[in-house]
Chains A and B, each alone.
Chain A
C-alpha cells in the first residue's frame, strides 16, 4: 500500500515520538521544568545530568526570583506571572537556590556527571 507523503511523514513522526517517550528520561532532550506555584518550587529537589537545561515558570500572581545561594552561580531577574527563567547546568554538584524576595522558598538541583554517577 502506497501512502501519501504527508501521511507517511506523520506516521514517521508519531513513531519517533513513541520511541522517544520509551527512552529513559536522561537520554532524551536534556530539559526539565520546575513550576513556581503557591510560593513553592515544584519539584523542590531535582536530579539532572550535566548539560541539562532547567526552566522555571512562575505561576503565582506575585513575582519571584530563582537565586543561587552561592554568589554568581545563577540569578534570574524578578519573574512576573508566567515569566520563565532557564539555566543550563554543566558542572556536577548540588546547587541550592531560593527566592530572594521570599527567602523561605528554597529548592535544589543535583547535577550528575553526563555518564551517570552522582557527584557529591
Chain B
C-alpha cells in the first residue's frame, strides 16, 4: 500500500472532523475522496500531507509510519483548490521552488523545469507571473510545482473546484492522461461524484467524518453500502422504504397490476437524456430518466397521468447501512 491511514481521529474544538477513519490507497493508483462539504475529506488529505496533526491514529506512506514526520520531510506533492501560486515569482521560479530549497544546481533545475513545463503545456509562459495566467494555467503550474520534487504521493485538494465547467472538464481528461504518464500515487478530493467517477480508479466516499464505502466507480454505483452512498453517488429516488435509480423505472400508459399512478409535472430535455419529474398519488416526488426516443414513443406531455414500475429497487436496513437488492421488484 502506498498510503495507509489507520484509525485516525481529528477534532476541531467540539467538531469531529475525522472519526476513526482508516483507508488504504494502492501504489500508483488514482483515488478520489468523495463527500459533501464538512464530510472530512479535505481534513483527511491534510492529515496525510502533514498539514494537520491527527489526535489519534497513524499515517503510513510507502510502509513507513509518518504520523510524526514534519510536512517538510514527507515528500508529498500538494495542490490547493485556489492554486496557492507564489504571486511574486514567475512560472519558472514557482516550479523551481522545491528544487532550489533542496539545493539542486542551476543546470539540473533548468532542465527539470523545462521538462515539467512541457508536461503541463506551459511553454512560452516561463517568465509570466501568476496573475497573468488563467485559472486553468495556474492550476497546471501548481501541479508542475508539486511534481518537481518527485513526490512519493500527489495530493490534490478540490483541484478543479475554482474553475468553470468547461475548463474543469478539460483538466479532468488531462489529469487522467497525465497520471497514465507519470504514475505517481494520487489522491484527489472532490465533492463532485461525476468528477470522481470520471477520473478515479478507486473512490472513497466520506460522510460526517467517516468512510461510508470504498470501491471502484461501478461497484459504488451498483452496490451502494448505505442510503448515503446510494443517494450521493448518482441520482436516486426514494420510494417508501426502497430506493430506485431514475433509469431503472418503466413508464407506461396502462396499469398492469405492478404499477403505481403518477402525474408528470415537468419534462426536462438534457440533450440525449430526458428527465421526467413526477408526483405519485401519495404526493411523493419522483424522477425518471428516459432517452429522447422513449419520450417521443410514449408521447409524454406535462400534466399527463402515467403508470410507473421500478425495475430494480434497493432496501437498506433501518440504520441506513448494509444495502441489499430487493428480491422482488416492489412498489411503494
Partners in one complex: no
- Write the residues of chain A forming the contact surface with B, with a CB cutoff of 8 angstroms: none
